[in-house]
């Protein structure tokens, strides 16, 4: 998926017109371990860039989720309430977290795959 | 990998959830070689351990093990450990990884007569094969285990290697802790996994170990108790035998028992998604009443569970408290311990008359 972009806080986005799909990266899920719960925003909520929109709770820890873009929440992945483990097993597919209707432009500081890889390599022990 | 008492241990091999469920439904294999293994030996060994430990080791016959605490003079717990009697004058003592140096020094200081203590942590490895089907899934070349009772052990073979086979564990399930020469433990590990693979046996990491021990309400030293906590507060008063010959901490513990513990460790459950974490505040009617000592999401039970140290003995099963989770007050119910009773005790049925 060439068009996937990333944040330093380990979220990813794909863009289709004005619709942005958001999830957490494979690196993030592997660091979190088994996800047991996600606290997600209600559709209709407006989010700013880097605004905290929810929490992903794993066996190990609870981590905040940050919106990579500004927009209005149009959908959340309802499957995750019954199967939060989809975030682990398919972080870029069935484990997507929410969709937003983009307000304005994409932030310029989203990372491409190579740039994001550098972030994870710097963060690894 | 996480650092655990100076040992590098995997949080999970594949998935905490799958490893946890394997232990509950089939069997899982844990590398617990981080646990300290000390041999106390000599004519004064029993007297020394009787002086050091709160439990009464006198009735312990060779081939049997006992869970006990070791306390300071003021009754605070130095460690919780298992003492295995190999013969009249030889005991194997298994201690927590982080406490090995402290325990060894303390025991050394209080040895009586000609007893000696020797550290075998490095040359003798320890793996645990735990689960309701562990007893039927040992690999070829293993001794029969049918007649080893719960908390019994014996020298035998596992996958052709010499091993001390102990029917003990830290998961609430039936199964074995296997003491194997470090030179041969890799083969034993591989053989157990290969033999059980088709049935669903998995290697299990620290995450599954913590979840299963917590479901069984087995205490974790360093989380649920430390040197400021006495056995009665930890709900382990049954390991204190005030009637046995004098031991370190006896007077202080007799006083605690007479006056009643000021705090108690209780079990709690919360709604899915609200995982109580170590250190989280517990409140009742708006008042701070205690602190979570251990908490996790139980994949097996389907909701989070926690142990908390609360003031007074006043909390009853069914009472509603709140626990701070992610900055908010999450409702929690006081529940009976253990959260789950596994196959451990039922594994070896008493002989029919």
Query: Does a structural domain hold residue A71?
Result: yes
Asked if pLDDT for residue B8 goes beyond 90, the answer is no
Which residues of chain B does A52 touch, with a Cβ-Cβ cutoff of 8 Å?
A: none
Asked if pLDDT for residue A73 goes beyond 70, the answer is yes
Instruction: Give pLDDT tens digits for A16-35.
Output: 999 999 999 999 999 888 99
Query: Does a structural domain hold residue A25?
Result: yes
> Taking a contact as any Cβ pair under 8 Å apart, which residues of chain A between 20 and 39 contact chain B?
33-34, 36-37, 39
* Interface contact A62-B275, CB threshold 8 A: yes
Asked if pLDDT for residue B351 goes beyond 60, the answer is no
Asked if pLDDT for residue B301 goes beyond 90, the answer is yes
Instruction: Please tell me the predicted confidence (pLDDT) of residue B345.
Output: 75
* Interface contact A36-B15, CB threshold 8 A: no
> What rounded mean pLDDT belongs to chain B?
94
Residue B12 contacts A, CB cutoff 8 Å: yes
Query: What is the CATH classification number for the domain harbouring A90?
Result: 2.40.50.100
A77-86 long-range contacts, CB within 8 A, separation 24+: A77/A40, A80/A38, A80/A40, A81/A38, A84/A35, A84/A36, A84/A37, A84/A38, A85/A34, A85/A35, A85/B17
Asked if pLDDT for residue B348 goes beyond 70, the answer is no
Query: Mutual orientation of helices B16-25 and B206-215 as an angle, nearest 10°?
Result: 50
Residue B79 and residue B226: Cα distance in Å, rounded?
A: 7
Q: Which residues pair with B124 in a beta bridge?
A: B181
Q: How many CB atoms lie within 10 A of CB B51?
A: 17
Instruction: Please tell me the predicted confidence (pLDDT) of residue B347.
Output: 45
Give the alpha-carbon dihedral of A84, A87, A93, A94, to 10 degrees.
Answer: -10
Per-residue 3-state assignment (H helix, E strand, C coil) for chain B: CEEECCEEECCCCCCHHHHHHHHHHCCEEEECCCCEEEEEECCCHHHHHHHHECCCCCCCCCCEEEEEEEECCCCCEEEEEEEEEEECCEEEEEECHHHHHHHHHHHHHHCCCCCEEEECCCCEEEEEEECCCHHHCCCCCCCCCCCCCCCEEEEEEECCEEEEEECCCCCCCCEEEEEEECCCHHHHHHHHHHHHHHHCCEECCHHHHHHHHHHCCCCCECCCECCCCCCCCCCCHHHCCCCCCCCCCHHHHHHHHHHCCCEEEEEEEECCCCCCCCCCEEEECCEEEEEEEEEEEECCCCEEEEEEEEECCCCCCCCEEEEEECCEEEEEEEECCCCCCCCCHHHCCCCCC
Of B114 and B139, the one with more pLDDT: B139
Mean pLDDT of B195-203: 98
pLDDT band of residue B352 (cuts 50, 70, 90) is: very low
Q: Which domain holds residue A49?
A: 5-104+112-120
Q: How many CB atoms lie within 10 A of CB B243?
A: 6
CB A97 within 8 A of CB A64: no
CB B203 within 8 A of CB B11: no
Nearest Cα of chain B lies from the Cα of A72 at a distance, in angstroms, of 25
Q: Phi and psi of A89, rounded to 5°?
A: -80, -30
Instruction: Please tell me the predicted confidence (pLDDT) of residue B2.
Output: 79
Instruction: Please tell me the predicted confidence (pLDDT) of residue B273.
Output: 86
Instruction: Give pLDDT tens digits for A74-112.
Output: 999 999 999 999 999 999 999 999 999 999 899 999 999
CB B248 within 8 A of CB B110: yes
Most distant CA pair in chain B, distance: 60
Residue B186 and residue B280: Cα distance in Å, rounded?
A: 40
pLDDT band of residue A125 (cuts 50, 70, 90) is: very low
Asked if pLDDT for residue B185 goes beyond 50, the answer is yes
Question: CA A50, B295, A85: angle at the middle one, nearest 5?
Answer: 55
CB B153 within 8 A of CB B93: no
Residue B292 and residue B139: Cα distance in Å, rounded?
A: 41
Residue A57 contacts B, CB cutoff 8 Å: yes
Instruction: Give pLDDT tens digits for B70-105.
Output: 999 999 999 999 999 999 999 999 999 999 999 999
Nearest Cα of chain A lies from the Cα of B211 at a distance, in angstroms, of 9
Residue B23 and residue B186: Cα distance in Å, rounded?
A: 20
Instruction: Give pLDDT tens digits for B227-284.
Output: 999 999 999 999 999 999 999 999 999 999 999 999 999 999 999 889 999 999 999 9
Asked if pLDDT for residue B222 goes beyond 50, the answer is yes
Query: Does a structural domain hold residue A125?
Result: no
Of B353 and B169, the one with more pLDDT: B169
Instruction: Give pLDDT tens digits for A35-69.
Output: 999 999 999 999 999 999 999 999 888 899 999 99
Instruction: Please tell me the predicted confidence (pLDDT) of residue B244.
Output: 97
Of the candidates B12, B211, B272, the beta carbon closest to that of A37 is on: B272
CB B236 within 8 A of CB A18: no
Tell me how many domains chain A contains.
Answer: 1
Query: Does a structural domain hold residue A35?
Result: yes
Question: Residue with structure tokens 């030293």?
Answer: B221
Structure tokens at B321: 């408290």
Q: Pick the range with the lowest mean pLDDT from A19-33, B119-133, B339-353.
A: B339-353
Residue A39 and residue B40: Cα distance in Å, rounded?
A: 52
Structure tokens at A59: 């066996």
Residue B17 contacts A, CB cutoff 8 Å: yes
Most A CBs within 10 A among B20, B21, B276, B297, hence the mutation to make, goes to: B297
Q: Is A115 helix (H, G, I), strand (E, B) or coil?
A: helix
Q: Which residues of B73-105 are buried (b: 16+ CB within 10 A; e: fewer)?
A: eebbbbbbbbbbbbeeeebbbbbbbbbbeebbe
Nearest Cα of chain A lies from the Cα of B284 at a distance, in angstroms, of 24
CB B273 within 8 A of CB B289: no
């Amino acid at each position: 998926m060439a068009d996937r972009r990333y944040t330093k806080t380990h979220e990813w986005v794909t863009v289709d017109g004005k619709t942005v799909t958001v999830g957490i990266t494979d690196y993030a899920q592997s660091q979190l371990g088994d996800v047991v719960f996600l606290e997600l925003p209600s559709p209709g909520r407006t989010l700013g860039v880097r605004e905290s929109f929810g929490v992903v709770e794993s066996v190990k820890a609870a981590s905040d989720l940050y919106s990579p873009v500004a927009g209005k929440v149009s959908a959340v992945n309802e499957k995750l309430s019954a199967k939060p483990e989809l975030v682990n097993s398919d972080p870029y597919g069935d484990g997507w977290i929410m969709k937003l209707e983009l307000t304005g432009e994409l932030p310029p500081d989203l990372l491409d795959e190579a740039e994001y890889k550098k972030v994870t390599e710097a963060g690894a022990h | 990998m996480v650092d655990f008492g100076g040992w590098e241990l995997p949080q999970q091999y594949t998935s905490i959830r799958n490893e946890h469920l394997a232990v509950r439904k089939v069997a899982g294999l844990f590398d617990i070689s981080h646990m300290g293994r000390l041999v106390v030996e000599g004519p004064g060994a029993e007297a020394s351990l009787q002086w050091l430990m709160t439990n009464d080791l006198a009735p312990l016959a060779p081939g049997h093990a006992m869970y006990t605490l070791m306390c300071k003079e003021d009754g605070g717990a130095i460690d919780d450990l298992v003492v295995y009697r190999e013969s009249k004058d030889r005991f194997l003592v298994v201690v927590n990884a982080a406490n090995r140096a402290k325990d060894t020094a303390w025991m050394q200081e209080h040895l009586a007569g000609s007893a000696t203590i020797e550290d075998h942590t490095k040359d003798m490895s320890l793996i645990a094969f735990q689960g309701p089907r562990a007893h039927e899934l040992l690999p070829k070349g293993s001794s029969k285990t049918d007649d080893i009772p719960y908390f019994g052990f014996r020298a035998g073979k596992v996958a052709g290697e010499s091993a001390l086979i102990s029917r003990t564990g830290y998961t609430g399930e039936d199964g074995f802790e296997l003491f194997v020469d470090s030179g041969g433990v890799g083969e034993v590990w591989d053989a157990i996994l290969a033999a059980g693979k088709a049935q669903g046996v998995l290697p299990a990491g620290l995450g599954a170990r913590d979840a299963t021990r917590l479901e069984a309400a087995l205490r974790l030293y360093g989380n649920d108790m430390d040197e400021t906590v006495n056995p009665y507060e930890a709900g382990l008063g049954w390991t204190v035998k005030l009637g046995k010959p004098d031991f370190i901490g006896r007077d202080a513990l007799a006083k605690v028992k007479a006056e009643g513990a000021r705090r108690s460790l209780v079990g709690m459950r919360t709604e899915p998604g609200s995982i109580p974490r170590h250190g989280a505040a517990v409140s009742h009617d708006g008042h701070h009443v205690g602190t979570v000592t251990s908490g996790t999401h139980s994949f097996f039970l389907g909701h989070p569970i926690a142990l908390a140290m609360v003031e007074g003995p006043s909390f009853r099963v069914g009472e509603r408290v709140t626990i701070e989770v992610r900055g908010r007050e999450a409702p929690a119910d006081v529940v009976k311990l253990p959260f789950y009773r596994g196959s451990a005790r039922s594994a070896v049925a008493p002989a029919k008359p």
